[in-house]
Structure 1
Amino acid sequence: MIRTVLLAASLSALTLAASAFAADKPLRIGYVFAMANAPALIADKEGFYKQEGLDVDLKALGDGPVIQQALAAGELDVAYVGTPPVYQWYSRGLKSTILAKVNYGQAAVMVSDKSPITTLQDLKGKKLAGVKKGSGMDVLLRGYVLKDKAGLNPDQDLNIIDMPPGNMNAALERGIVDAAFSWEPFVSQAELRGTARVLFDVNQALPQYPWYVVIALPKTLQERPDDVVKLLRAHRKAVAFLNEHPDEANRIIADAFRLEPVQGPGGTTISPEQIVARARTRLGWSAELKPADLAFIQRLMNDSKALGFMDVDMSPAQLVDTSYLEKASH
């Protein structure tokens, strides 16, 4: 009996020591380098992490699958990422937890301003620039845009070319592709330059559809629950700043993404801040995960299974936990 008590006390002490050691290290945060993930930037630039007494190591990464790989390798504790890679990797054993929403909206199909294409159905037989197969945006493109809205088979009816979004506008202008499925600020840059037009705006078809979310590993939640709450409190502050101080936030975003002025079709110069302001017509920010958001995530899960990106049925209830976000509201 005494030995059991001593063993339990020793294990408890080891757990507390491990938690204290983890808390001494920076919270490693990865985020997909997209304008929609601006809350991560704002929280850093405006000092919201520091206000919460949180030391962070913030890293910008290319896409959701890359972030999932970094989480699996133990290189990140928390991430701002699109939902599909989260549940796809969850189905394979990487049990991340979705804690909060980051944004809604962002994506659109673009064509050249000189293109004869007028409907999604016209993409049949064409070349379309997309992103890495199986990524969040790819699931949205193949499942919702092409299969549901256009009635096209994404593997047979057109040629989807994997391309960095930063290269898509040039590829459209040069005729390398007939269309591109991209996000902000790239959509607004091309639109304001007058070299491309929006063929299909996802946010008009699915108003305020959720996209990026904040996730954490079980180890992070177990060892650093207080830091997770601090992170989400900083996240809430950043979302509020974006919504309450748009002009200042636009300047921070334009600077972080090193946006250059663009020349409009009439020869007018359009500032980086104006590009961000246009992008805001397609996206916005919110931390709350609402029932409609969970329904959309379920739709993405169904599409991922139908597209062969995972082989099990899943529901948002398996990986969503908003209790930390609720604590961060106090």
Structure 2
Amino acid sequence: MSHRRQFLSALALAVSFLATPAAFAQNKPLRVGWVFAMANAPAVIAEQKRFFAEEGLNVEIKSFGDGPVLQQALAAGELDVAYVGAPPIYQWFSRGLDARILAKVNYGQAAIIANNASAIKSVADLRGKRLASVAKGSGMDVLLRGFILKQQGKLDPDKDLDIQTIPPGNMNAALDRNVVDAAFLWEPFVSQALLRGNSRLVLDLNLALPQYPWYVVMAPASTLKERPADVIKLLRAHRRAIAFLQSNPAESDKIIAQAFNLESVQTADGKTLQGETIVHEARKRLGWSDKLETRDLQFIQQLMDYSLELGFINRPLKVDQVVDLSYWQKATSAK
């Protein structure tokens, strides 16, 4: 057989293989969405350090401004896996989106801050005050109303204070201009405010709820059925990214600062602090872990109960309905 005929025969065989459904599925990218938040840094690290690729996984990564926009992409079948807050997942589940929480992403991140000159020293002091926060019914709002205000402050969220919806990036300015008396926000906004020197902590939620989970890795039931091996590969890459964040803080802080375009902060005494310093400060309230502990599952159940009480879901749910740790267990076992 001539070289030309050999080449054409091999080419035809390759085209035939690639045309099969199994081969197509094997080469199809896993579409991964993530909420654009510092706490979801493992998604950034796994991509930039090529942990996804080293696990043999072809991925398409896309960031979203918030959970509701990401949910629309999930509902439309445009994503296979997502890094998103736990509350949206069980809220979507209650409305018919069959999906599962697979692993933890982070712990901590949220805090209440007030202007240095404010008389607010505790959550209870928010009575009669104006508090900047996020949209009612969102995951962070569940945390604020259910745990912080009702449980910690013994306050009625709808009667005892004025909760004003303000974009997180504008909350510090609202504090400076006395538009609000305090703000409930998360990293990096908390650290930016503290490093500027004009605000102080009223409540570090990670002290009140040590290592409470927030962002998680989730997947629709269809992904778990059709691509279980790829889900396990993703969770292995996710685990490696978290190990990198923990063992290489300086390099990972630089990657995070660049990925989130963190602008420098001017302190009260005129110093300029770069993005890596903001990330370093944020680590005091924010950390990363992939393992969902028993206490984490209890916390997610607590959030579900708050959501039902607040009217954000219309039926009781149990945590084992929306959590499946079997894929994480396979990912963390020996290959």
Does residue 143 (structure 1) correspond to residue 146 (structure 2)? The answer is: yes
Determine which of 88, 105, 109 is the counterpart of 1:106: 109
Q: In structure 2, how many angstroms separate the alpha carbons of the residues matched to 1:180 and 1:201?
A: 12
Which position in structure 2 is the counterpart of 1:154? 157
Name the Cα RMSD after superposition: 1.4
Which position in structure 2 is the counterpart of 1:310? 313
Determine which of 236, 241, 262 is the counterpart of 1:233: 236
Q: In structure 1, how many angstroms separate the alpha carbons of the residues matched to 2:214 and 2:23?
A: 34
Task: State the Cα distance separating 1:162 from its structure 2 match.
Answer: 1.8
Determine which of 74, 77, 92 is the counterpart of 2:77: 74
> Quick one: which amino acid aligns to residue 213 of structure 2?
P
Do 1:19 and 1:224's aligned partners in 2 also have CA atoms closer than 8 Å?
Answer: no
Does residue 97 (structure 1) correspond to residue 100 (structure 2)? The answer is: yes
Q: Name the CA shift for 1:18/1:321 in 2 (closer, same or farther; >3 Å).
A: farther
Does residue 247 (structure 1) correspond to residue 247 (structure 2)? The answer is: no
Q: In structure 1, how many angstroms separate the alpha carbons of the residues matched to 2:77 and 2:165?
A: 27
- What TM-score does the superposition give when structure 1 sets the normalisation length? 0.92
Which position in structure 2 is the counterpart of 1:53? 56
Does residue 327 (structure 1) correspond to residue 330 (structure 2)? The answer is: yes
Secondary structure of the structure 2 residue equivalent to 1:328: helix
Aligned 1:127-276 pairs, distance under 5 A: 127-276=130-279
- What TM-score does the superposition give when structure 2 sets the normalisation length? 0.90
Task: State the Cα distance separating 1:19 from its structure 2 match.
Answer: 6.1
Secondary structure of the structure 1 residue equivalent to 2:202: strand
Q: In structure 2, how many angstroms separate the alpha carbons of the residues matched to 1:123 and 1:95?
A: 38
Secondary structure of the structure 2 residue equivalent to 1:215: strand
Secondary structure of the structure 2 residue equivalent to 1:110: strand
Gaps of 5+ in 1: 1-16
Determine which of 28, 52, 68 is the counterpart of 2:31: 28
Do 1:90 and 1:96's aligned partners in 2 also have CA atoms closer than 8 Å?
Answer: yes
User: CA deviation digits over 1:208-236, x for unaligned, max 9?
Assistant: 11111000011111111111111111101
Moved more, 253-262 or 159-168: 159-168
**Rg comparison, structure with higher value:** 2
Task: State the Cα distance separating 1:20 from its structure 2 match.
Answer: 4.9
Gaps of 5+ in 2: 1-19
Task: State the Cα distance separating 1:119 from its structure 2 match.
Answer: 2.0
Task: State the Cα distance separating 1:61 from its structure 2 match.
Answer: 1.1
Task: State the Cα distance separating 1:65 from its structure 2 match.
Answer: 2.4
> Quick one: which amino acid aligns to residue 256 of structure 1?
A
Q: Name the CA shift for 1:219/1:19 in 2 (closer, same or farther; >3 Å).
A: farther
Moved more, 21-30 or 279-288: 21-30
Q: Name the CA shift for 1:309/1:112 in 2 (closer, same or farther; >3 Å).
A: same
Work out the percentage of aligned pairs sharing the same amino acid.
61
Moved more, 302-311 or 124-133: 124-133
Task: State the Cα distance separating 1:199 from its structure 2 match.
Answer: 0.7
> Quick one: which amino acid aligns to residue 236 of structure 2?
R
Moved more, 21-30 or 140-149: 21-30
Do 1:146 and 1:152's aligned partners in 2 also have CA atoms closer than 8 Å?
Answer: yes
**Number of residue pairs aligned between Structure 1 and Structure 2:** 314
Q: In structure 1, how many angstroms separate the alpha carbons of the residues matched to 2:157 and 2:80?
A: 35
Secondary structure of the structure 1 residue equivalent to 2:210: coil
Which position in structure 2 is the counterpart of 1:65? 68
Which position in structure 1 is the counterpart of 2:7? none
Secondary structure of the structure 1 residue equivalent to 2:137: coil
